[in-house]
Amino acid sequence: MVSEREFRESEKRLWASVRVTPTERRVRLAGIGVEVRVQEAGDGPPVLFLHGGPNAGTTWAHMVAGMREFRCLVVDRPGTGLSQALPRPLTPATLPPFGDAFAAEVLDALGIARALVVASSFGGYLALRGAAAHPSRIARMVQMACPAFAPGMKTPPFMRLMSLRLVRGLMGRMEPNVKTARSILRQIGHGASIDANRIPDLFFQWYVDLQKHTDTMRNDGDMIGNLITLLGAKRSLTLSDELLRSVQTPTLFYWGEDDAFGGEEVARNLARLVPNAQLEMVPKSGHLPWLDDPARAVRATVEFFASS
């Protein structure tokens, strides 16, 4: 059952575990036409965090905790966490212009001319398109593992199954639980960390409560159903070589070696296409590599941001 109160309590526990108490506000994205929630912590150069899906902004809690010398701006994408949903789920026709506009619109709403960016998965797609469309808005960016729709990207089985409306309906009637959450993370490359108990229980409980007490899974599930087939991502959505070569923003690809969405070959090809890119491959790490070793992820990010 959707319950903002229950979700906030779970979220508060996760933030408290990393000793961060973010403020929050809601801002309206004028061009996109929705209101989104932004959580903020720290003080210094602004860093916009763009999460993947199905997920929400607080997934970045352990990164934010290590970056107190930055003004960390954690947005819930439309339809996730506590942000308003889009009037209609994104489609292959509407996704590219949304991707071009999203980061710039969030920065406009916050009154920020230029920011650093940390992005993951679907958020990585938004950051790459945003950097290509609005090069002056993103100073430097860190891409955490494989961005959505990167050339050569693979789609894990659970996500391909979400392309079926019947399966999404069955998933919606199932009670989310920690066992299933662990299984999903294992499928995307975090088996080593799960076996070694490196990912805190509070994170899994927050992820379960995100599914249970918000509309995130329904909204992102409908979007995934429009963009993914049983065979994988729709080919028309693959980021073109031309677009990737147009991204002039200095970029670090911080890539888990066990990322189920794309291995080292995909990573090296992407780093070759983006002109000002560096690549760091991370052993025993998956699609959300900051969960496997937050201290290493923070260190790599801060060092890259300082290397201008």
pLDDT of residue 201: 96
Q: Give percent of the chain with pLDDT exceeding 90.
A: 87
Greatest Cα-to-Cα distance within the chain, rounded to the nearest angstrom: 49
Q: Above 90 in pLDDT, residue 170? A: no
For the chain, give percent helix, strand, coil, nearest 5: 45, 20, 35
Q: C-alpha 23: how far from its chain's center?
A: 20
CB 30 within 8 A of CB 48: no
pLDDT of residue 161: 80
CB atoms within 10 A of CB 255: 26
In this structure, the dihedral spanned by the alpha carbons of residues 7, 76, 186 and 153, taken in order and rounded to 10 degrees, is: 160
Q: How confident is the model at residue 128 (pLDDT cuts 50, 70, 90)?
A: very high
pLDDT in tens, 218-245: 999 999 989 988 888 888 999 999 999 9
pLDDT in tens, 65-124: 999 999 999 999 999 999 999 999 999 999 999 999 999 999 999 999 999 999 999 999
CA distances (Å), origin 25, targets 13, 63, 303? 19, 20, 29
pTM, rounded to two decimals: 0.96
pLDDT in tens, 94-109: 999 999 999 999 999 9
SS3 304: helix
CB 285 within 8 A of CB 193: yes
pLDDT of residue 290: 98
Query: Residue 269 and residue 273: Cα distance in Å, rounded?
Result: 6
CA atoms within 13 A on the CB side of 158: 17
Order across the sheet with 46-50: list the strands: 23-29, 34-41, 71-75, 46-50, 115-120, 138-144, 251-256, 277-282
Encoding tokens for residue 270? Answer: 């992407």
Query: Residue 136 and residue 308: Cα distance in Å, rounded?
Result: 15
pLDDT in tens, 24-78: 999 999 999 999 999 999 999 999 999 998 999 999 999 999 999 999 999 999 9
CA distances (Å), origin 278, targets 56, 114, 274, 275, 302? 27, 21, 9, 9, 14
Q: Above 90 in pLDDT, residue 20? A: yes
CB atoms within 10 A of CB 242: 9
Q: Is the dihedral of CA 101, 107, 108, 112 positive or negative?
A: negative
Which domains does the chain possess?
Answer: 4-305 (3.40.50.1820)
pLDDT of residue 288: 98
CA distances (Å), origin 256, targets 182, 261, 264, 279? 17, 10, 9, 11
DSSP for 43-62? -SSEEEEE--TT--GGGGHH
Q: C-alpha 219: how far from its chain's center?
A: 15
DSSP for 62-106? HHHHT-TTSEEEEEPPTTSTTSPPPSS---TTTHHHHHHHHHHHH
Query: Strand (E) positions, the chain?
Result: 23-29, 34-41, 46-50, 71-75, 115-120, 138-144, 228-229, 232-233, 251-256, 277-282
Q: Tell me, what DSSP letter sits at residue 251?
A: E
